[in-house]
Amino acid sequence: MFIEDKIKLQFYLYSAILALLLYDIVMNLKELRIKKRISQSKASFLTNIPLRTYKRVENDPSYIGTHKYIYAYKKLSEFVPKSSKNVPQYKITVVGAGYVGFSIAVLLSTHHQVTVADIDTRKVQRINNREPIFFDKEIELYLKTKKLNLRATPIDLDAYRGSDFVIIAVPTDYDEKHETYDMSNVINTVHDIRKVNKEVTIVIKSTCYIGFTESLKDPNIIFSPEFLREGKALLDNIYPSRIVIGSDNNKIAKQFASIMENEALNSPETIFMSPSEAEATKLFSNAYLALRVAYFNEMDSLLSKFSLRSELVTSGVSLDPRIGNFYNNPSFGYGGYCLPKDTEALITQMKDVSNNELISSISKSNRSRKEYIAKDIEKLIKPEDTVGVYSLQAKSSSDNTRFAAIKDVIKELEKRNVHILIYDSNKMTLDEFKNKSDIIITNRYDSLLDDVKNKVYTRDLFKRD
């Protein structure tokens, strides 16, 4: 008994010492934050911990010792505050208040005078009222808590007068008839800018085909692609994976690069290249992401056919560090606004290249996946069954339904005369939807479906986008 008591005493003693050490780390986190003049809001962004949760690390002892807070201490320790001295303030106009344009406008308006110009008057009004115009929790937080030098206006020539930079982030939809992007929005915007501001630096963020920017023959135009996720656009601007500047004008290239670098909380690599090389970087980046989605979807289709556990095989494959455990969650197919059109545009430009089989097969694989999903669902239902579609969103972290893969699955099911019921919270309750549906299909799983899990069809193996 004495030995057992001694062991227990040692255990309690070591636990107490460990708790004190961890408590000291957590308490020093607050001191460290104050010493480095980091606000709690900024610390939340630096550590990627929700603000409400981050505040508890400094006040709630029950959170002591959790790994995310030790990680937070490490992140704040590594943070080197940037000097704001001698950083010029610019007058910047952003044309287009979509995911790309509005997230950049919000980011830059913390240090610069930013005007957002858009054709949608409802968006203009919401922005001026500091209301979010799409789902992005970081943007919502900035609108609520930050002092932003930001205003919105309808698109007109006055928006371009006196600007130091004009950033173009207007849509460039893929024109299937001509097998290229419809660049008319960008071309018209450039022409309007030059009517009233001959020297301003124009930065094109809209996706272009390779060679477009150089075809404009304007030395004061930069092509600088974005690499953003829907629902996390501001976060990806704050922590950019890289900054790519496509310009043959060294002076304006470095000037714009310094603006973006100053806003980044990490230390991204900045790469300078020609405009056409920057355009290629954007297209090949998105084509690779599409290829990766298609690859894991094809693997999932085959494993499902043989009744093998796809989540285990996918995990086993992804643990190879050369492959990586990311962008590997099976889905109904890739969708959204960027991947489909950018892949198609690249395929078109590679038609004259002899060994273009890999890139050209990506879209074909994606179409086959949607057909496979529809056939798989059809096997599970009776002719009189109702197939409920839980969400039309491309991913759970976005409110965007444009070109979502599930829409093509619906079309395939409709060809087979399957009765479809799409959940609309404005027309029915979730319980009504569940009761009316014999099977529920969803590209990404939601815990709200836990009570009817037995009739949910999804290929979402890892419950993440």
Tell me, what CATH number does 71's domain have?
1.10.260
Retrieve residue 120's tokens: 């949608």
83 within domain boundaries: no
Q: What is the mean pLDDT of residues 308-317?
A: 96
Task: Give yes or no: residues 30 and 158 share one domain.
Answer: no
Instruction: Determine the pLDDT at residue 397.
Output: 52
Task: Give yes or no: residues 409 and 296 share one domain.
Answer: yes
Q: What is the mean pLDDT of residues 304-325?
A: 94
User: What is the chain's mean pLDDT, rounded?
Assistant: 88
Q: Which amino acid is at 454?
A: N
Q: Which pLDDT band, with edges at 50, 70 and 90, does 458 fall under?
A: very high
**With 50 as the cut, is the pLDDT of residue 2 above it?**
yes
- 325, 319 Cβ separation under 8 angstroms: yes
Q: What is the mean pLDDT of residues 406-416?
A: 94
Instruction: Determine the pLDDT at residue 20.
Output: 47
Retrieve residue 168's tokens: 């173009």
Instruction: Determine the pLDDT at residue 87.
Output: 65
465 within domain boundaries: no
Task: Give yes or no: residues 260 and 307 share one domain.
Answer: no
Residue 175, beta-bridge partner list: 180
The catalytic residue positions are 338
Task: Give yes or no: residues 257 and 293 share one domain.
Answer: no
Task: Give yes or no: residues 237 and 263 share one domain.
Answer: yes
What CATH number is given to the structural domain containing 204? Answer: 3.40.50.720
| Residues 111-142: tens digit of each pLDDT | 999 999 999 999 999 999 999 998 888 999 99
403 within domain boundaries: yes
Q: Which domain holds residue 318?
A: 285-457
Q: What is the mean pLDDT of residues 234-253?
A: 94
- 157, 192 Cβ separation under 8 angstroms: yes
Task: Give yes or no: residues 121 and 243 share one domain.
Answer: yes
Q: Which pLDDT band, with edges at 50, 70 and 90, does 173 fall under?
A: confident
**With 60 as the cut, is the pLDDT of residue 85 above it?**
no
Retrieve residue 440's tokens: 């529920």
From 16-25, 99-108, 184-193, the region with the lowest mean pLDDT = 16-25
Q: What is the mean pLDDT of residues 366-386?
A: 95
Task: Give yes or no: residues 17 and 160 share one domain.
Answer: no
Instruction: Determine the pLDDT at residue 331.
Output: 95
**At residue 172, what are phi and psi to the nearest 5 degrees?**
-130, 80
Q: What is the mean pLDDT of residues 215-225?
A: 97
From 16-30, 73-87, 123-137, 208-222, the region with the lowest mean pLDDT = 16-30
**With 80 as the cut, is the pLDDT of residue 59 above it?**
no
Instruction: Determine the pLDDT at residue 83.
Output: 56
From 49-58, 146-155, 217-226, 395-404, the region with the lowest mean pLDDT = 395-404
Retrieve residue 38's tokens: 């980091």
Q: What is the mean pLDDT of residues 155-182?
A: 91
Task: Give yes or no: residues 260 and 291 share one domain.
Answer: no
